[in-house]
Amino acid sequence: MRVTNSMFASGALKNLNKNSSEMLKLQEQISSGKKISRPSDSPMIANESEILRSDVERLAHYAKNIDIAQNMAADAETALMDINRSIQNVKELILQASNGTQSLQEREDIITEIEQNKEQIISLLNTASSDKYIFGGYNTKVPPVESDTGTIMYNGTELSSIDDVTADAYKNELVSIRISKGTELNVSMTVLDIVGYGDGNLFQTIDEITGKMSTDTFDPADIETEMGTLENHFNNVLNKCSEMGGKEKRLDMVEDQINETIFGSENLLSEVEDVNIEEAIINYELAKQAYNATLAVSAQNIKMTLLDYLG
Amino acid sequence: MSNFYGLEIARKSLFASQRAIELTGHNIANANTEGYTRQRVDFKAAAPGNGSSIDNFSGNRTGGGVEIEGIVQIRNEYYDTLYREEDAYLSELNAKSESLRYIEDIFSESTESGIGSGIENLFSSMEQLFSDAGNSLLRSQLQQDAISLTNTMQLTAGRLNEYVDRQNSQVETIVSEINSIARQISSLNKTIFSYELNGEPANDLRDQRNLLIDELNSYIAVNVNEKETGELRVSVGGIALVDHMQINNMVLKEEPSPALDGKSVLNPQWEKSGNDVTLTGGELKGLLDIRDSDDEKNPGIPYFMKKLDTLAASMVEEFNEINSGGYTMPYGTTDSRTGVNFFDPTKTTAATISLSDELLEDASNIAASSGPVADYSNWGNNENLELFLELRDVDSIAYGDETIGNYEDYTREIMTEIAISTSYNANRAENQQVMVDYVDNQKKSVSEVSIDEEMTNLIRYQHSYAAAAKLMSAIDEMIGTLINSIGAAGR
């Protein structure tokens, strides 16, 4: 092939351009730490890293949700433990009153103390976690339990008048949280789960006992059935307590899992999109050598002309 | 007179060498002129003159020295045609790949403000609201995320629309450039034709014309035919743009584009016939392909616009169905109600999508609850919200005959499609550049001036000039000897 002077020149330019753009690419990779700077550099890598990144972001959100749920569960467990203690108090007070030596006046004093414990239980059932009532089912806005001149109301309905059908509807009002794609964990518990409803709910049971205790002819044998019911309530709250504890443990486990997955995904993400610095630097050195060689050879070739040798 | 025949040969030789040296000078002077084709003097041995030599009668006739047959350009027409074919394709690919790069930037996901992350944020806010449906702070957060998503979609569609306008004005510039080059070519045709009538080739004007055709060809692929008689025709898609001295101008017609929802675009047409110009390559074709194509295999702006619009329309449909099926929160004097839309149902394109008036007014209109919300009931009800969350992970959403799957995947797919066609076109352009460079090198290898070669020629012609001069003086001496000596011997 016939070679002309300007072919040397344009060839040198073209090759220098090619070498320097390779160097620019490596420089970009090394300084940004990323293999690609725009999706079209490698649609495969871009797509994969986009999927991983959105996974990590979603998981981080779930971790946040779990934080909220953990707070809620911890608040609920504390409240349940306190309710349990109050029922224990009530039980002890009733035993004290059942002692045959107590006068009616003394029993009245004990009843007042029992009423105070009842108030305490009501206020514990109205526990709020971050401005949200946790035992009211879907009613998170107003205190779920109210005492209207002695009548106990749940979400505006008289507690002792609630039947099974209504109760099931209420109990289904579970506020759950999302802990992963499509998986929900329910951390809530309603007042009805804790103190019962209709006949024989905790408050009615206590009221019946105190009613019988405030008569002159009070005989401890009269309240044996009610005491049995109270004992059941006591055990039920204890169970709920450990149930809530179990949920807390489950939340902790899920949290650990999520954190591990986030860690794994982040590692994978880094593997997909981060540049291997050692490799990049070696490639850069190679590109630099090629560039230098091109410079040297081109400089020689462009200079050469027959004119140098003619007299 | 026969003795002077040798002098005549020497004179011809001197003139020929001189012309050759002049031409060498012309070549050297134009070594760096773009489009210049090296020229060469064609020498020819002259036939012996009649009765000019004493040997005429013996039959041993010597030739008549050297003659200049002509000055020709060294070029290979095949490489010209090949170069134009490859270069038109390169210009087309470059235009495409630049446009796609720009579209990629418009959609850019890496800026953390793309449509994909907008949808992600919206659903994440829903997931947070899910654990506390009555929380007005979380509701406002969700409302803001929805507003910012609609803004991003509007912005993206708006920028695509603006880009179509910019491409239209680029088309306008190119077409007026094409017409201007066509005019220049036709006037060169006239000059070259009249110059060449007396048989001498107009080499340097032809170089100019070739350069203009190359330039024209990078805008719009052309075919070039030159008749035996020297009339040149430049045609596009079979229709003559320049036919010898006549020009067939291109004009632009403003038409509504069916692929772009009736947005008006400029299309090149022939002024005389009013027919559309058939493009086979060049920058103009690349631009129009990207502007007009809604084909999956060769996607352009309308294709991606259609995808965006499908996304918008489907979101309006699905979100409204869910939101209007649930119950809103009471606020001010407004009670909890059902049948409230999430997005404005009359605005179903990416360019227009916006929240419903109700949702813009108050975030309480996000219908999270499956039942009426009042003081004791349903503040924390998130059953309707759950339907939104299910929407996030399904893979069965469809709109019309387009399968969407779910919105996050769909958006990612659009992004990936853009990235793939951008990188595909960029790679093709890169490969095509190699091809063009190769052909260009072949072309230059034939036509371009080599200084070394010209220097060698210069020395050659210098020597032949010196030899011819020597011949002249030798014959001069011979004649002198003849005249002087013959006289002396007789005396």
Residue A203: the pLDDT is: 93
- Find where tokens 């909220």 sit: A68
What tokens does B209 get? Answer: 């014309």
Cα–Cα distance between B264 and B253 in angstroms, integer? 10
Q: Is the Cβ of B337 closer than 8 Å to some Cβ of chain A?
A: no
Q: Report how far apart the first and last C-alpha atoms of chain B are (Å, whole number).
A: 25
Q: Which residue of A has its CA nearest to B457?
A: A306
pLDDT average, residue stretch B119-130? 92
A54 vs B408, B444, B453: nearest CB: B408
Q: What is the DSSP letter of A274?
A: B
Residue B266: the pLDDT is: 94
Provide the shortest C-alpha distance from residue A252 to chain B (in Å). Answer: 17
Contact status, residue B218 vs residue B183, Cβ threshold 8 Å: no
DSSP H or E run through B434: helix B407-447
Residue B59: the pLDDT is: 58
pLDDT at B209 over 90: yes
pLDDT average, residue stretch B252-265? 90
What pLDDT, in 10s, does the model give residues A202-234? 999 999 999 998 888 888 888 889 999 999 999
pLDDT average, residue stretch B357-383? 92
Contact residues on chain B for A69, CB-CB shorter than 8 A:
131
What pLDDT, in 10s, does the model give residues B405-457? 999 999 999 999 999 999 999 999 999 999 999 999 999 999 999 999 999 99
What residues of chain A score a pLDDT lower than 50? none
Q: Is the Cβ of B375 closer than 8 Å to some Cβ of chain A?
A: yes
pLDDT average, residue stretch B51-58? 51
Task: Using alpha carbons only, give the angle A147, A150, A152 rounded to the nearest 5 degrees.
Answer: 45
Give the best residue of A139, A183, A302 to mutate against chain B (max B CB count within 10 A). A139
DSSP H or E run through A152: strand A151-154
Contact residues on chain B for A307, CB-CB shorter than 8 A:
451, 455
Question: Residue A28: CB partners within 8 Å, gap ≥ 6?
Answer: A37
Q: Is the Cβ of B67 closer than 8 Å to some Cβ of chain A?
A: no
% of residues, chain B, pLDDT over 90:
78
- pTM: predicted TM-score of the whole model, two decimal places: 0.86
- Find where tokens 């002129």 sit: B33
Q: What is the DSSP string of B231-282?
A: -EEEEETTEEEEETTEE--EEEEEEEEGGGTTEEEEEEEETTT-PBPPP-SS
pLDDT average, residue stretch B341-360? 95
Confidence band, pLDDT 50/70/90 cuts, at residue B58: low
Long-range contacts (CB closer than 8 Å, 24 or more residues apart) made by B26-30: B27/B449, B27/B454, B28/B449, B28/B451, B28/B454, B30/B449
Q: What is the DSSP string of B128-189?
A: HHHT-TT-HHHHHHHHHHHHHHHHHHHHHHHHHHHHHHHHHHHHHHHHHHHHHHHHHHHHHH
Judged by average pLDDT, the poorest of A241-255, B102-116, B192-206, B343-357 is: B102-116
Q: Give the number of A-B residue pairs with CB atoms closer than 8 Å.
A: 158
Cα dihedral A279, A283, A289, A293 in deg (nearest 10): 160
pLDDT at B49 over 90: no
Q: Do A305 and B135 touch (CB under 8 A)?
A: no
- Find where tokens 């020709």 sit: B72
What tokens does B49 get? Answer: 């003159």
pLDDT at B399 over 70: yes
Considering chain B, what is the average pLDDT of its residues? 91
pLDDT average, residue stretch B264-277? 94
Provide the shortest C-alpha distance from residue B29 to chain A (in Å). Answer: 13
Q: Is the Cβ of A4 closer than 8 Å to some Cβ of chain B?
A: yes
Contact residues on chain B for A47, CB-CB shorter than 8 A:
412, 415-416, 419
Q: Is the Cβ of B239 closer than 8 Å to some Cβ of chain A?
A: no
- Find where tokens 């526990």 sit: A127
The three-state DSSP-derived secondary structure of A78-131 is HHHHHHHHHHHHHHHHHHHHHCCCCCHHHHHHHHHHHHHHHHHHHHHHCCEECC
Nearest Cα to Cα of residue B89 among B298, B283, B239, B238: B283
- The ipTM is 0.85
Q: Do B416 and A141 touch (CB under 8 A)?
A: no
Contact status, residue A39 vs residue B419, Cβ threshold 8 Å: yes
What pLDDT, in 10s, does the model give residues A238-268? 999 999 999 999 999 999 999 999 999 999 9
pLDDT at B3 over 80: no
Stated length of chain B: 491
% of residues, chain B, pLDDT over 70:
95
Q: What is the DSSP letter of B398?
A: E
Q: Do A40 and B412 touch (CB under 8 A)?
A: no
pLDDT at B250 over 60: yes
Confidence band, pLDDT 50/70/90 cuts, at residue B110: very low
pLDDT at B490 over 70: no
